[in-house]
C-alpha cells in the first residue's frame, strides 16, 4: 500500500500540502481530440473554471494485439503520458478513469472485441444464454464481473495503464484521483433473475452465504430448506408464496449488491499494487437507484462511490431524492458524470435544460462533480467547448459564469445543516427488487418513465399485514414530501450504510412495517438510547431480514400513524411542530430553498428551486439589511424592512444567490 | 447497414434535438404536458393480471384495470384509456428473451440483430404477447439480406444523404450521412460544414 498523497475531504480533495482542490472537473477524451488541439482544449477547460480535467483511458483503443498496448509508441494520439504532461502544463489536475469498462459510447463500451467474444468471460442469464446489451451500433454479450478469467484479463490492462499513469501521480504530476471501472451495475440489466449465473458468480453466491450465515444450521433455519454452502443454488425465477419462503430470494438480491463490490475490490487491489492507491480510488454508479446497485457495499472497498446524473429538468424531484441519498449515505456526495450534452441514442436533451439540472444537484448538496463532456467529441452533442477549446452556446457561457460563482462563494467549503435523517431499511427495497415482474426491464430505462422497483414489483402480501415492498416505499415518499412541504432540511440514510452516517442526524425518521433488518434495528436502538428522537411507524416490525422474529422492539409508540401518512398536510404540520429550523422557508409548498453557511453559521449561498412544471414566483423571507444577489445574473433582491422577496423561477427552475448584508457585517439567519 | 465503427461527429445540439422532435411528435407532445396517455402495460401470470403500470404514471391498482382476456384487447385498450395496450404473459417473456439471445450474434450488423428480435416477438404475438393496436401483426419480417439489398438500391455506396429542414428561413434541423461498402460510416450535421 502506498502512503496517501491525496485524501478525500469534506470539500473535495486534500492534496496533503496545505492545498484543497474542489472536485469540480470537466471531461476531455484525449484520443478523440486531435493532438495538435490538446493545449487549446485544455486551456478551454481551465478557462471554464475547472481545476481538473477528467479522461477515460480506453482499453479497446490502446490494445493493438492481445495484451499488447500502444500508449503513444506508434500512434501519437494515444500518448497518455504526453496528455497528462500537457494537462499539468495547462495548470490542471487530472482524474483518470482507466476502466476496464468505460462506455464512452464506444463500440463494445471500450472492451477489446476478443474480451466480449470469449464465452468463458461472458455473463450468463438465468436462461443459460449470453447476456446481450442492445446498444448501438450493435448488441454484444457483456462480460461477467465474477469471471476469474475476465478479472485476470482486466488486471493485465490495468497494470499496463497504471504504469503509464504512476509517474504522473500527485505531487510529482497532476493525477489526483483514479476511478475504478464505470457504472458497474450488470450493464443496466439489474433484474433480479436476469444475470449473472456464470459458474464463478454462483460460486461467489455460495461464499456470500457462508460469510452471512457462518454455520449451515443458520442457513437452513433462514432458507427453511436442507441446503448447505457447497450446493446452494441461486433462484432463477421468483416462486415464493409465503413470507417464510422469501429468504433465498432476498439473499440473492443482497448478493447482487455485493457482486460489483467484489469485482471492484479485486480491480482496486491491482491499482494499489501498482502504486495508484496513493490517490483516492472511486467508482461511479449509473443514473439509477444506487442502493440497489450496492453503493454502501462499494464504499467498503473503495474510498468513494458517486452516482452519474444524466437528467432533464423535469427530473427535479428524482435529482433531489438522489442527491439527498448521497448526502446521507455516501462518503462524499459526488457525481463522476454530470451531463453536459448527451449521447445520441438516449432521450433528446436540450443543453439549456441541463443548466437547470446542474444547479439542482448543487442546490441539494452535491459536493463535487465532473462535467461530462466538457469538450465535444465523437458520438456526443451539446458539450460546452469545441475540440479547439472554443466556447459553445448555451452551456459554455453558463458554465463559465457558474465556475466564477463557485470560486467566489467557495460553495464546496460551505456547510448545509440537515438535522433529520430519513432511514430506509434495506429489507424493503430488496423485497421490491426480488419480486420484480419486469425482470428484464433495465432499471435505468424504467426510471426514465418514472417506474421504480416499488412500482414494478408483485403486489402479494406473502401473509404479512400488507404488500410491505410497496407500502414502505409509499410511506417513505409521503415522509419526504411532507418534509419538503414543511421546508425542513433532511438527508436519506441507507440502512446498509456505515452506521456512522446516523451520528450526523439529530432526528431519525424511519417508516416501518412488518420487517426490519437486524443491523438497522440495533443502530436505531443505540440512537434512541443516546436521546435522538426516533419517529417510526405505522407498524411495529416483528420480523428481521431472515423472516425470523426480530430480537427487540422499537422504543415508544408509532409517530407515523396511518392517518398521518395519508394526509400530507397533517404530516407536514406534525414535522413542523418539532420546532426545527426552517431557514429561508418559502411561502409556496412547491418551492425548495437550501442554505449554505460559512463559519459561525453565517448565511452565504441560498438556492431557490421549484418542482413545479409551471413557471412561478416564489416568496422568500428576508431580514432587513439583507439582500440576495443572483450569482448567475445581475438581479439583486432586497426589501426595505422585514419581509419577503419575490423570486421568479422557470418550470423546474433553480436560482443561486449570494446572501449579503446591504451594509458591512454578518448576515442574520432567517 | 451500420458500420461498427460509424463515425458520429460535429452534431449540432439544436439541430439534433429539433430533428428528434420532428420524429417523435407524440412523445414530445407528452413531455410538453399534452398528447395521449402513454402505454399501459399489463403483466399476466397464467392468464391473470398480476401487475399493471403506465409509463410515467407508475403503478395502476389492479382493481382499476379493465381486463377481459387476450381476445378483447381493443375493448380493454379503450376502457383503460391511452393510445396503446401491451399485455405480456410472464412465461412467454422469459421464452422470448431466451430465443432472442440464442439467435443474436456478436458479428452481425445491428439491423440484423433487430430483425431477430422482431421475428421472435412476431412469433409470440397473439400467443403470450398481446398488443392493441396490433402493430406486430400482418407484415412478415423480411430477411436481413432483403433489407440490405433494398437499402443499397435506394442509397448507393460512396454517396451522402443530406437532410435540411428550414423554418422561417433558418436551418431548423440538419443531418448528413455517408455510406461505404453497404454501411453508414459517418453521421454528422451542418456543424461539420462550418455552420
In our burial notation (b when 16+ CB lie closer than 10 A, e otherwise), range A388-397 reads ebeebebbbe
Among the partner-chain residues B9, B12, B51, the one whose CB lies closest to the CB of A437 is B51
Q: Which domain holds residue B45?
A: 37-82+85-132
Backbone angles phi, psi at B99, to 5 degrees: -65, -40
Give how many domains chain B has, as a whole number: 2
Count of Cβ atoms closer than 10 Å to residue B180 Cβ? 12
B43 & B120 share domain: yes
Inter-residue contact A368 to A24 (CB < 8 Å): yes
ipTM of this model? 0.93
Closest to A423 (Cα-Cα) out of A524, A301, A296: A524
Question: What is the 8-class DSSP label of residue B97?
Answer: H
The answer to whether the CB of B141 falls within 8 A of the CB of B121 is no
B104–A contact, CB cutoff 8 A: yes
How many residues in total does chain B contain? 195
Residues of A in contact with B57 (CB under 8 A): 450
| pLDDT at res. B31 | 61
The secondary structure of A402-429, three-state, reads: HHHHHHHHCHHHCECCCCEEEEECHHHH
Q: Where are the beta strands (DSSP E) in A233-315?
A: 281-285, 304-307
Same domain, yes or no, for B54 and B99? yes
Superfamily of domain A7-187+260-411: Glycosidases (3.20.20.80)
Mean pLDDT for chain A overall: 95
Does residue B158 form part of some domain? yes
pLDDT-flagged residues of chain B (< 50):
none
Which residues does B139 contact at the CB level (< 8 Å), separation at least 6? Answer: none
B159 and B98, same structural domain?
A: no
The reply to whether B148 touches chain A by the CB within 8 Å rule is no
Q: Among all residues of chain A, which has the CA nearest to that of B23? A: A348
Convert the pLDDT of each residue in A249-287 to its tens digit.
999 999 999 999 999 999 999 999 999 999 999 999 999
Query: Hey, of B13, B55, B96, B194, which one would you mutate to test binding to chain A, going by the most A CBs within 10 A of its CB?
Result: B13
> What pLDDT shows up at residue A345?
86
Residues A458-479: tens digit of each pLDDT? 999 999 999 999 999 999 999 9
Cross-chain residue pair B13–A127, CB shorter than 8 Å: no
Using pLDDT thresholds of 50, 70 and 90, give the confidence band for residue A622: very high
Give the 3-state secondary structure of A499-549: HHHHHHCCEEEEEECCECCHHHHHHHHHHHHCCCCEEEEECCCCECCCCCE
Whether residue B31 is contained in a domain is answered as no
B contact residues 72-101, partner A, Cβ 8 Å cutoff: 90, 93-94, 97-98, 100-101
Q: Is the pLDDT of residue A642 over 80?
A: no
pLDDT at residue number B54: 87
In terms of domains, do B112 and B67 share one? yes
Tell me if A137 and B4 make a contact (CB, 8 A cut-off).
yes
Q: Which of A383, A643, A437 has the alpha carbon at shortest distance from B41?
A: A437
Claim to verify: residue B97 and residue B120 sit in the same structural domain? yes
Quick check: bond before A538 cis, omega within 30? yes
DSSP for A328-357 reads HHSSS--EEEEESSB-TTSS---HHHHHHH
Chain B residues closer than 8 Å to A130 by CB: 101
Compute the distance between CA of residue A459 and CA of residue B51 in angstroms, rounded to an integer.
7
A183-207 confidence digits (pLDDT tens): 999 999 989 999 999 999 999 999 9
Residues A655-669, mean pLDDT to the nearest whole number: 77
Domain-by-domain residue ranges, chain A? 7-187+260-411, 420-576, 591-661
Would you call B55 and A449 a contact, using CB atoms and an 8 Å cutoff?
yes
Q: Provide, as residue numbers in chain B, all residues whose Cβ is less than 8 Å from the Cβ of A439.
A: 93
pLDDT greater than 70 at residue A315? yes
The answer to whether A7-187+260-411 and A591-661 have equal CATH topology is no
pLDDT (0 to 100) of residue A667: 55
- Helix %, strand %, coil % of chain A (to 5): 35, 20, 40
Distance CA(A138)–CA(B110), nearest Å, equals: 4
DSSP string of A555-589, one letter each residue? SS--SS-HHHHT-HHHHHHHHHTT----TT--SST
Contact residues, chain A, for B6 at CB < 8 Å: 137
Nearest CA in chain A to B52: A456
Angle between helices A216-223 and A199-213 (to 10 degrees): 100
Question: How sure is the predictor about A663, in pLDDT bands with cuts at 50, 70 and 90?
Answer: confident
Please give the grid coordinates belonging to residue A291. Answer: 442502493
Give yes or no for a contact between A25 and A299, defined as CB atoms under 8 angstroms apart: no
Residue A175 reports pLDDT greater than 70: yes
Q: What gap in Å lies between CA B89 and CA B51, rounded to an integer?
A: 11
Residue A80 dihedral angles phi and psi, to the nearest 5° = -60, -40
For residue B179, list its beta bridge partners: B159, B184
Closest residue of chain A to B59, computed from CA coordinates: A455
Q: Which three cell numbers stand for residue A290?
A: 444506487
Q: What is the pLDDT of residue A276?
A: 98
Which architecture, in CATH terms, is A591-661?
Sandwich (2.60)
Residue A293 has pLDDT above 60, yes or no: yes
Q: Do B4 and A107 touch (CB under 8 A)?
A: yes
DSSP A376-390: --TT-B--SB-TTS-
Interchain contact B26–A (C-beta under 8 A): no
d(CA A615, CA A623): 25
> Can you name the residues that pair with A629 across neighbouring β-strands?
A636, A658
End-to-end alpha-carbon separation of chain B, Å?
A: 28
Q: Alpha-carbon torsion B145, B151, B157, B158, what sign?
A: negative
Residue A429, pLDDT > 90, answer yes
Chain A environment of B176 (Cβ under 8 Å):
none
The radius of gyration of chain B from alpha carbons, rounded to an integer in Å, stands at: 21
The dihedral sign for the CA sequence A503, A504, A505, A509: negative
Interface test with A, best of B3, B5, B8 (most A CBs within 10 A): B8
Q: What is the pLDDT of residues A119-155, one digit of tens each?
A: 999 999 999 999 999 999 999 999 999 999 999 999 9
Per-residue pLDDT reduced to its tens digit, A47-70 = 999 999 999 999 999 999 999 999
Contact: B13, A341; criterion CB under 8 Å? yes
Identify which of B53, B93, B108 has the shortest CB distance to residue A440. B93
- At B36 the pLDDT is 59
Percent of chain A beyond pLDDT 90?
89
Distance set, CA A22 to CA A14, A49, A87, A657, B48 (Å)? 9, 11, 17, 20, 55
Specify whether B62 is located in the same domain as B101: yes
For A165, A291, A297, the CA distances from A266, given in Å and listed in that order, are 19, 21, 14
- Please report, for residues A105, A169, A311, A448, A459, the alpha-carbon distance to residue A346 in angstroms, rounded to integers and kept in the order given: 11, 35, 11, 10, 31
User: Residues B46, B123: one domain?
Assistant: yes
Q: State phi, psi for A360 to the nearest 5 degrees.
A: -65, -40
Is B51 contained in some domain? yes
Q: pLDDT grade, residue A444 (50/70/90)? A: confident
Rg, Å, chain A Cα set: 25
Cβ neighbours of B4 in A, within 8 Å: 107, 137-138
In terms of CA atoms, which chain A residue is nearest residue B103?
Answer: A129
Q: Would the pLDDT of A405 be above 90?
A: yes
Q: Verify that B7 and B45 share a domain, yes or no.
A: no
Of B4, B31, B43, the CB nearest to A138: B4
Torsions phi, psi of A110, nearest 5?
100, -5
Longest dimension (CA), chain B: 59
d(CA B192, CA B176) in angstroms, rounded, equals 9
Length of chain A in terms of residues written: 670
Interchain CB contact of B113 with A (< 8 Å)? yes
pLDDT tens-digit series, residues A497-556: 999 899 889 999 999 999 999 999 999 999 999 999 999 999 999 999 999 999 888 999
Amino acid at each position: 500500500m502506498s502512503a496517501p498523497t491525496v485524501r478525500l475531504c469534506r470539500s473535495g480533495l486534500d492534496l496533503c500540502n496545505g492545498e484543497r482542490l474542489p472536485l469540480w472537473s470537466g471531461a476531455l477524451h484525449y484520443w478523440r481530440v486531435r493532438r495538435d488541439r490538446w493545449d487549446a482544449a485544455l486551456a478551454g477547460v481551465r478557462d471554464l473554471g475547472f481545476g481538473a480535467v477528467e479522461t477515460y483511458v480506453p482499453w479497446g483503443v490502446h490494445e493493438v494485439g492481445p495484451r499488447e498496448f500502444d500508449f503513444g509508441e506508434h500512434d501519437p494520439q494515444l500518448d497518455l503520458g504526453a496528455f497528462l504532461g500537457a494537462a499539468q502544463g495547462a495548470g490542471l489536475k487530472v482524474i483518470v478513469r482507466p476502466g476496464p469498462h468505460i462506455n464512452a459510447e464506444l463500440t463494445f463500451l471500450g472492451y477489446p472485441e476478443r474480451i466480449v467474444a470469449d464465452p468463458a468471460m461472458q455473463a450468463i442469464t438465468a436462461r443459460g444464454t449470453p447476456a446481450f446489451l442492445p446498444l448501438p451500433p450493435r448488441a454484444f454479450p457483456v462480460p461477467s464481473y465474477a469471471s476469474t478469467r475476465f478479472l485476470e484479463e482486466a488486471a493485465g490492462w490495468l497494470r499496463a495503464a497504471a504504469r503509464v499513469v504512476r509517474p504522473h501521480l500527485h505531487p510529482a504530476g497532476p493525477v489526483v484521483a483514479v476511478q475504478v471501472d464505470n457504472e458497474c451495475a450488470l450493464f443496466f440489466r439489474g433484474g433480479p433473475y436476469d444475470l449473472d449465473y456464470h459458474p464463478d458468480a454462483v460460486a461467489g453466491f455460495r461464499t456470500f452465504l457462508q460469510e452471512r450465515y457462518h454455520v449451515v444450521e443458520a442457513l437452513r433455519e433462514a432458507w427453511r430448506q436442507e441446503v448447505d454452502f457447497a450446493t446452494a443454488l441461486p433462484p432463477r425465477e421468483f416462486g415464493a408464496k409465503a413470507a417464510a419462503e422469501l429468504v433465498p430470494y432476498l439473499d440473492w438480491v443482497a448478493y447482487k449488491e455485493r457482486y460489483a463490490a467484489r469485482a471492484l475490490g479485486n480491480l482496486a487491489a491491482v491499482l494499489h499494487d501498482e502504486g495508484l492507491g496513493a490517490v483516492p480510488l472511486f467508482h461511479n454508479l449509473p443514473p439509477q437507484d444506487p442502493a440497489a446497485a450496492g453503493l454502501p457495499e462499494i464504499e467498503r472497498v473503495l474510498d468513494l462511490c458517486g452516482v452519474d446524473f444524466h437528467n432533464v429538468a423535469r427530473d427535479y424531484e428524482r435529482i433531489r431524492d438522489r442527491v439527498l441519498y448521497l448526502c446521507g449515505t455516501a462518503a462524499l456526495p459526488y457525481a463522476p458524470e454530470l451531463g453536459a450534452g448527451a449521447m445520441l441514442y438516449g432521450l433528446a436533451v436540450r443543453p439549456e435544460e441541463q443548466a437547470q439540472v446542474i444547479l439542482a444537484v448543487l442546490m441539494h448538496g452535491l459536493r463535487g462533480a465532473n462535467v461530462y463532456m466538457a469538450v465535444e467529441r465523437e458520438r456526443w452533442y451539446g458539450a460546452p467547448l469545441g475540440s479547439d477549446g472554443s466556447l459553445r452556446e448555451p452551456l459554455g457561457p453558463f458554465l463559465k459564469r457558474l465556475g466564477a460563482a463557485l470560486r467566489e462563494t467557495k460553495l464546496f467549503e460551505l456547510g448545509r445543516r440537515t438535522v433529520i435523517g430519513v432511514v430506509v431499511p434495506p429489507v424493503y427495497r430488496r423485497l421490491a427488487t426480488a419480486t420484480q415482474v419486469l425482470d428484464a426491464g433495465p432499471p435505468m430505462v424504467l426510471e426514465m418513465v418514472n417506474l421504480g422497483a416499488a412500482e414494478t414489483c408483485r403486489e402479494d402480501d406473502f401473509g404479512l399485514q400488507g404488500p410491505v415492498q410497496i407500502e414502505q416505499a409509499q410511506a417513505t415518499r409521503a415522509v419526504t414530501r411532507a418534509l419538503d412541504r414543511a421546508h425542513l432540511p433532511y438527508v436519506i440514510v441507507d440502512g446498509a450504510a456505515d452506521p456512522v452516517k446516523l451520528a450526523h442526524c439529530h432526528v431519525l425518521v424511519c417508516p416501518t412495517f412488518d420487517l426490519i433488518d437486524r443491523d438497522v434495528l440495533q443502530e436505531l436502538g443505540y440512537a434512541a438510547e443516546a436521546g435522538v428522537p426516533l419517529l417510526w411507524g405505522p407498524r411495529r416490525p416483528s420480523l428481521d431480514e431472515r423472516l425470523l422474529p426480530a430480537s427487540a422492539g422499537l422504543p415508544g409508540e408509532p409517530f407515523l400513524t396511518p392517518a398521518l401518512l395519508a394526509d400530507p398536510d397533517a404530516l407536514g404540520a406534525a414535522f413542523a411542530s418539532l420546532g426545527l429550523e426552517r431557514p429561508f422557508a418559502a411561502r409556496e409548498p412547491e418551492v425548495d430553498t437550501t442554505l449554505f453557511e460559512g463559519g459561525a453559521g453565517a448565511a452565504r449561498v441560498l438556492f431557490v428551486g421549484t418542482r413545479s412544471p409551471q413557471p412561478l414566483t416564489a416568496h422568500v423571507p428576508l431580514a432587513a439589511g439583507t439582500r440576495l444577489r443572483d450569482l448567475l445574473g445581475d438581479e439583486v433582491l432586497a426589501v426595505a424592512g422585514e419581509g419577503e422577496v419575490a423570486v421568479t423561477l422557470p418550470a423546474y427552475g433553480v436560482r443561486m444567490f449570494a446572501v449579503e448584508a446591504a451594509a458591512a457585517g454578518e448576515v442574520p439567519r432567517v | 447497414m451500420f458500420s461498427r465503427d460509424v463515425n458520429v461527429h460535429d452534431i449540432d445540439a439544436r439541430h439534433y434535438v429539433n430533428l428528434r422532435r420532428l420524429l417523435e411528435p407524440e412523445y414530445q407532445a407528452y413531455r410538453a404536458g399534452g398528447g395521449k396517455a402513454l402505454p399501459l402495460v399489463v403483466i399476466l401470470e397464467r392468464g391473470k393480471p398480476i401487475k399493471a403500470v403506465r409509463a410515467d404514471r407508475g403503478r395502476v391498482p389492479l382493481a382499476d384495470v379493465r381486463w377481459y382476456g387476450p381476445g378483447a384487447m381493443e375493448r380493454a385498450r379503450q376502457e383503460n384509456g391511452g393510445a396503446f395496450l401491451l399485455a405480456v404473459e410472464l412465461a412467454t417473456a422469459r421464452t422470448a428473451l431466451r430465443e432472442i439471445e440464442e439467435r443474436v450474434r456478436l458479428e452481425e450488423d445491428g439491423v440484423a440483430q433487430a430483425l431477430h428480435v422482431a421475428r421472435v416477438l412476431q412469433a409470440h404475438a397473439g400467443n403470450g404477447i398481446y398488443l392493441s393496436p396490433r402493430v406486430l401483426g400482418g407484415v412478415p419480417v423480411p430477411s436481413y439480406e432483403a433489407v440490405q439489398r433494398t437499402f443499397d438500391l435506394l442509397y448507393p455506396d460512396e454517396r451522402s444523404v443530406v437532410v435540411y429542414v428550414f423554418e422561417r428561413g433558418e436551418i431548423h434541423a440538419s443531418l448528413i450521412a455517408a455510406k461505404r461498402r453497404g454501411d453508414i460510416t459517418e453521421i454528422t450535421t451542418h456543424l461539420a460544414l462550418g455552420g
